[in-house]
Structure 1
Amino acid sequence: MFGTSWYEDVAKGNFVTMSRIFKTVDLFAGPGGLAEGFSSIRNAGRPVFDIALSVEKEPSAFRTLRLRAFTRQFRRIPDTYYRYIAGEISREELIAAHHVEWKAAENETALLELGTDNAKAEIDQRLDAIRANGNDDTVLIGGPPCQAYSLVGRARNRGNSAYDAAADHRHFLYREYIRILDRLRPAAFVMENVKGILSSKVEGEGIFAKVLADLRNAGGAPDGYTLLPLVSDGRGRHGEHIIRSELYGIPQRRHRVILVGMRSDRLAARSILMNHWLSADTGTRSVADVLGDMPKLRSGLSRQVDSESAWRSAAVDAFEAAARACREAGSGELDEVGTALDAHRATLAAAKEKLPRSDRRVTAVRDNWLSDWLIDDRLRALPNHETRGHMVTDLARYAFAATFAERRDRSPKASEYPRALAPDHRSWESGKFADRFRVQLWNEPSTTITSHISKDGHYFIHPDPLQCRSLTVREAARLQTFPDNYFFEGNRTEQYVQVGNAVPPLLAHQIAKVVHSLLEPNTRD
């Protein structure tokens, strides 16, 4: 009965009964993690949250965002999309095959830097049209850039004598979010940011209290919005707004401030405030749940000729050097790790199987709940799954760290490295970067995937010592719960940044369900 795209359905007169549709605006969208979660809430096959506008300033993230917007124009993603992300056809061929849907994606996305005069002029016109056409059923989502709020960013800024927090526009980009909130006056909003915003100060004044006050008073009236905590038993100050993603089935320890507000005149009853918590009964998922069955890969070799044989020779030498460093440490505490390193060296030297840098086979996810979200049986090849190159001098540290974690069930601290493996970093023994080399553990959620993964991979070492490498973009994306058919545009460094900066889509899906239940209390997703 139905066509493959919404446009075919309209042309053929195919209409379905559905609940209200909420026109949704996504600000500071990145590659679209929040929008992916919100657009996944469906009624009779149609998205309940119709993404009317997504805004992003970074060109590679924007290309990813627009491509994903393109897929949302279809009831069933066309085969040509799978051919494109498998590298079988060009982007131009994809667009030519579906020019109507691509035009719709262009209308849905905007490459703009929010807060600039040019962006305001264009955005305001779009917002007014969305508000007029939305019948008061609109939603605003997004998260202002967080560099100035993050603890690492603040530490870096303290080292810059010329840094002036009061002049840093990143502190105040939330004001553009507030301005748009004032103009759109949505029925509900979601604002995401790093935990650093809770303690960030400018000229001695806390940022977070001002953010909360501005959000409550947006829309032209005092207390125009009611803030609704997502967590029923949050720990610490403002704990009701801190979402610990590992509690909600995400295979990653990612703690973020997420503020949900509802326009006060849209609250059906005050009792609704006591019945909208995120459900923490999904169970804990681990790195092994999503990465454990993926084919083994090797790293590349940077700053020299790379080949499988060259890598294997370098890796064997790295394991031997790491084992020798453990023995030379002389403390006895690393004897077990050194023995395991020797065994791994022998295994690697004797192995007949040649490890590739990329294996695009679509592989299983062990956990059924995550599998339903991540896996697409129509994929022809797994995208964005190629290892980066590592310096030979780092291979021994990766070998040691992963083997240590394998034996001790934790990543080693800087103080636990044999002296022979210590990098030539001034801060190595300062205690400031005690986990400069950090291994992800098979049986636990990963640590927070951040944009720093684009730098060198040291914080994101693969748990299998024999692969002696950091995570690929696709592995990081799986830990972030981006579906396997989510294609990241740009070069590999840009792809890492996009993944690290995003909201986990499966967490966004759960938040969207809560928002929907607030907007339509009698509707079950």
Structure 2
Amino acid sequence: MFEPIRIVDLFSGPGGLSEGFATCKNKEGQNAYAIGISVEKEKAAHRTLRLRSFLREFSDFPPEYYSWLKDGGDGPDWKDLYPDEWLRASEEALCAELGTPDATELLSGAIKRIGGAANGRTVLIGGPPCQAYSLVGRARNSGKKDYVPAKDQRHFLYREYCRVLNEFSPAVFVMENVKGMLSSTVEGLAIFGQVRADLESSGRGYKLYALSGDENTELTPQHFLVQAEDFGIPQARHRVIIVGVRRDIASRLPHWFSPRLKKSERIVTVADVLSNMPLLRSGLSRNDSPAAWREAMETAIQHVEGSIANYSGEDKGTFVATVNEVRARLASSSLQGRWSPVRTPLPATIPSKLRSFLNDPRLSTLHGHETRAHMPSDLSRYLFAACYAIAEGSSPKSPKFPPAIAPQHVNWTSGKFDDRFRVQRWNHPSSTVTSHISKDGHYFIHADPCQCRSLTVREAARLQTFPDNYVFLGTRTEQYVQVGNAVPPFLALQIAEAILPIFDYV
């Protein structure tokens, strides 16, 4: 009887890695992997994780799920409707802080149970929290008085991952982290070198593999950097991903074998995944209504038109034509909703495998496709930036903003805010979707100037390649954080496929 490979998922977030592995099929079309346990400390992310674990209990999601997405509200009482499935999901998705005694005890019991039934076919996945490694986080920490990197335990959370490697001794592990890990140091020592050494010596010992790069050269830190846009993700997301194979298993692999991601035939763009979504207007931070928004948009257009004399781009004609088009569309369209009750088809330009991954024909609406509110003064900046991106092919840096539109910040011209407003261009992958999207929308301006807004949670989730039926729970701010912190599930699927042949030798 076929038994799937068992997964232990640490620092799970909303479940991006888990989703990719859980959807991976073997040659017979069976689910190649099954999640044994996943652990996440943030309550909202854990709720999302548990809901998805529950849904995986069914070959077809329950009808009540689709009714809830269509009708809205707080959602069904799953525990009452499906007590057995909900209990199994609650046992699989744990809300616990790794490294604490309680979490260690819970995890140890689960590891013994999973390892005992898996016949050696096990994988450890996860990404220790990365704030201390990220370039932004390091800049923020450097400004803190009395900050001592060696005392920041976030630098060493990967050691909890290593502790589990020692206890679990999986056949394979996959660890993900931010690019900044490659250059982060503590007391002058490169953290990545220590991470590699600790991973290699954990448990019974592991041989490390890089998923991209030239397999015929000696591995360098840069070989472990995966650029997601090379592999069909509509986002320029660069992350460190380390694959480890237990040495006794690695010794059985053919000398030529190395788990590799296959580059996609073409780059997937923002337009590929967002262009056919229902059109939504932005909201206003005060006194919002369709009429007030149209009035605010008319004022924004006038501000932009009034600054054309100070336009510093190369293609002023296209810029002016784009602004005129926005005015015409605004006059002729019925664009007034901040959310849409309908679900439009996925764009035909999406590559078929990704399209199939995102699509669920049973959906009648898109959960989380609702705009947030912006200050009226920001509408003119969003409008200018989006029109500029269409005319010039790039998002404008702060010196390109006319004085009449630029924010009245004392540091606006200091160089620290050059990228304060960033448009996600139609014909390119997006910039990296991060948890900062929860703070404001300035870094994530929609490519369509007529909508004049930041991205919705669902749009950010599309760029992260979460399936359209993947629901994020919690407040909207918490949902944005979950999406930004996740591993793109479609990339996780490809990782799961790349390491699958290893289990022929376990």
Fold match (TM-score > 0.5)? yes
In structure 2, C-alpha distance between the alignment counterparts of 1:507 and 1:387, rounded to whole Å = 27
Deviation at residue 380 of structure 1 after TM alignment: 2.7
Alignment of 1:345-364 (within 5 A): 346-364=327-345
Deviation at residue 233 of structure 1 after TM alignment: 3.2
Deviation at residue 89 of structure 1 after TM alignment: 6.7
In structure 1, C-alpha distance between the alignment counterparts of 2:181 and 2:214, rounded to whole Å = 20
In structure 2, C-alpha distance between the alignment counterparts of 1:436 and 1:237, rounded to whole Å = 34
In structure 1, C-alpha distance between the alignment counterparts of 2:192 and 2:475, rounded to whole Å = 35
In structure 2, C-alpha distance between the alignment counterparts of 1:90 and 1:272, rounded to whole Å = 54
In structure 1, C-alpha distance between the alignment counterparts of 2:297 and 2:37, rounded to whole Å = 48
Letter in 1 for 2:406: A
In structure 2, C-alpha distance between the alignment counterparts of 1:185 and 1:80, rounded to whole Å = 40
Question: What corresponds to 2:153 in structure 1?
Answer: 169
In structure 2, C-alpha distance between the alignment counterparts of 1:412 and 1:63, rounded to whole Å = 38
Alignment of 1:412-491 (within 5 A): 412-491=396-475
SS in 2 for 1:288: helix
Question: What corresponds to 1:284 in structure 2?
Answer: 267
**Cα pair distance change 1:331/1:359, threshold 3 Å:** closer
Deviation at residue 126 of structure 1 after TM alignment: 1.7
Instruction: Check the 8 A contact 1:412/1:438 in 2, yes or no.
Output: yes
Residue segments in structure 1 that go unaligned for 5+ positions in a row: 1-16
Question: What corresponds to 2:229 in structure 1?
Answer: 246
In structure 1, C-alpha distance between the alignment counterparts of 2:339 and 2:142, rounded to whole Å = 40
1:309 equivalent in alignment to 2:323: no
Instruction: Check the 8 A contact 2:278/2:343 in 1, yes or no.
Output: no
Deviation at residue 205 of structure 1 after TM alignment: 1.0
Size of the alignment, in residue pairs? Answer: 500
Question: What corresponds to 1:30 in structure 2?
Answer: 13
1:376 equivalent in alignment to 2:376: no
Letter in 2 for 1:360: P
Instruction: Check the 8 A contact 2:234/2:464 in 1, yes or no.
Output: yes
In structure 1, C-alpha distance between the alignment counterparts of 2:14 and 2:256, rounded to whole Å = 32
Alignment of 1:22-171 (within 5 A): 22-43=5-26, 44=28, 46-87=30-71, 90-171=74-155
Structural RMSD (CA): 2.0
Residue segments in structure 2 that go unaligned for 5+ positions in a row: none
Deviation at residue 270 of structure 1 after TM alignment: 4.5
Instruction: Check the 8 A contact 1:228/1:273 in 2, yes or no.
Output: no
Question: What corresponds to 2:245 in structure 1?
Answer: 262
In structure 2, C-alpha distance between the alignment counterparts of 1:76 and 1:330, rounded to whole Å = 54
Instruction: Check the 8 A contact 1:326/1:337 in 2, yes or no.
Output: no
CA deviation string 1:251-282 (max 9, x = no partner): 11100000000101112635355442110134
Q: Percent identity?
A: 50
Instruction: Check the 8 A contact 1:181/1:218 in 2, yes or no.
Output: yes
SS in 2 for 1:91: coil
Letter in 1 for 2:146: A
Letter in 1 for 2:466: F
Deviation at residue 342 of structure 1 after TM alignment: 4.4
1:390 equivalent in alignment to 2:374: yes
CA deviation string 1:58-95 (max 9, x = no partner): 01100000000011111221212212233457534333
CA deviation string 1:221-274 (max 9, x = no partner): 4xx100011113399952221110110011111000000001011126353554
CA deviation string 1:456-477 (max 9, x = no partner): 1100000000000010000010
Letter in 2 for 1:446: S
2:254 to 271, 276, 282: 271
**Cα pair distance change 1:496/1:48, threshold 3 Å:** same
SS in 2 for 1:429: coil
Deviation at residue 331 of structure 1 after TM alignment: 5.8
CA deviation string 1:172-197 (max 9, x = no partner): 10010000111000000000000000
1:227 equivalent in alignment to 2:208: yes
Question: What corresponds to 1:3 in structure 2?
Answer: none
Question: What corresponds to 1:191 in structure 2?
Answer: 175
Larger CA deviation: 463-472 vs 427-436: 427-436
In structure 2, C-alpha distance between the alignment counterparts of 1:66 and 1:332, rounded to whole Å = 49
SS in 2 for 1:271: coil
CA deviation string 1:322-361 (max 9, x = no partner): 221232x276857436623641453155224132100132
In structure 1, C-alpha distance between the alignment counterparts of 2:239 and 2:4, rounded to whole Å = 28
CA deviation string 1:484-513 (max 9, x = no partner): 000000111111000000000000000000
In structure 2, C-alpha distance between the alignment counterparts of 1:318 and 1:459, rounded to whole Å = 19
Larger CA deviation: 185-194 vs 94-103: 94-103
Instruction: Check the 8 A contact 1:323/1:341 in 2, yes or no.
Output: no
Query: TM-score normalised to the size of structure 1?
Result: 0.91
1:297 equivalent in alignment to 2:297: no
Instruction: Check the 8 A contact 2:25/2:31 in 1, yes or no.
Output: yes
In structure 2, C-alpha distance between the alignment counterparts of 1:330 and 1:128, rounded to whole Å = 66
Question: What corresponds to 1:6 in structure 2?
Answer: none
Deviation at residue 137 of structure 1 after TM alignment: 1.5
Instruction: Check the 8 A contact 1:45/1:75 in 2, yes or no.
Output: no
Larger CA deviation: 352-361 vs 334-343: 334-343
In structure 2, C-alpha distance between the alignment counterparts of 1:209 and 1:226, rounded to whole Å = 15
Larger CA deviation: 33-42 vs 421-430: 421-430
In structure 2, C-alpha distance between the alignment counterparts of 1:341 and 1:65, rounded to whole Å = 42
CA deviation string 1:391-419 (max 9, x = no partner): 11110000000000011111011111111
Letter in 1 for 2:260: W
Query: TM-score normalised to the size of structure 2?
Result: 0.94
In structure 1, C-alpha distance between the alignment counterparts of 2:380 and 2:259, rounded to whole Å = 49
Instruction: Check the 8 A contact 2:249/2:505 in 1, yes or no.
Output: no
In structure 2, C-alpha distance between the alignment counterparts of 1:190 and 1:305, rounded to whole Å = 49
Question: What corresponds to 1:10 in structure 2?
Answer: none
**Cα pair distance change 1:218/1:467, threshold 3 Å:** same
